[in-house]
Amino acid sequence: MIYAILETGGKQIWVKPGRFYDINKIYAKPGEYIKLEKVLLLNNEDNLQIGQPCIPNTYIKGKVLKHMKGRKVTIFKMKPKKNMRSKNGHRQSISRILIESIQTK
């Protein structure tokens, strides 16, 4: 089993080839291929590599499937006895990418 842990958008994601993941928006058109180079850990058939902080000469090839918005997060603020209430919402822009392969140079 091959998998990797990569950093993108300030988050660490455990990825496997052939699966799709939702990450913070990447400025690439749907159908374009991208190269993610911040690989923190790589497990390739019982050969474990840990980067300090990243593994050199290793990257993940992915394809942007589509751009969309995430779930709505509601922010509600209230101060008791002051009659202050505010309700706001936010939807994060995300990109769905398909992991094609994990490659070492």
Residue 14 to residue 40: CA distance in whole angstroms? 10
Q: In terms of residue numbers, what domain contains 86?
A: 2-104
Number of folded domains that form the chain: 1
Using alpha carbons, list the distances in angstroms from residue 33 to 60, 63, 66, 67. 10, 4, 12, 14
Interval 65-94: pLDDT, tens: 999 999 999 999 999 999 999 999 999 999
- What pLDDT is recorded for position 105? 80
Q: How far is CA 66 from the centre of its chain?
A: 14
Give, as one character, the DSSP assignment of residue 45.
Answer: S
Residue 6 to residue 105: CA distance in whole angstroms? 17
This prediction has a pTM of: 0.83
Q: Are 53 and 41 in contact (CB under 8 A)?
A: no
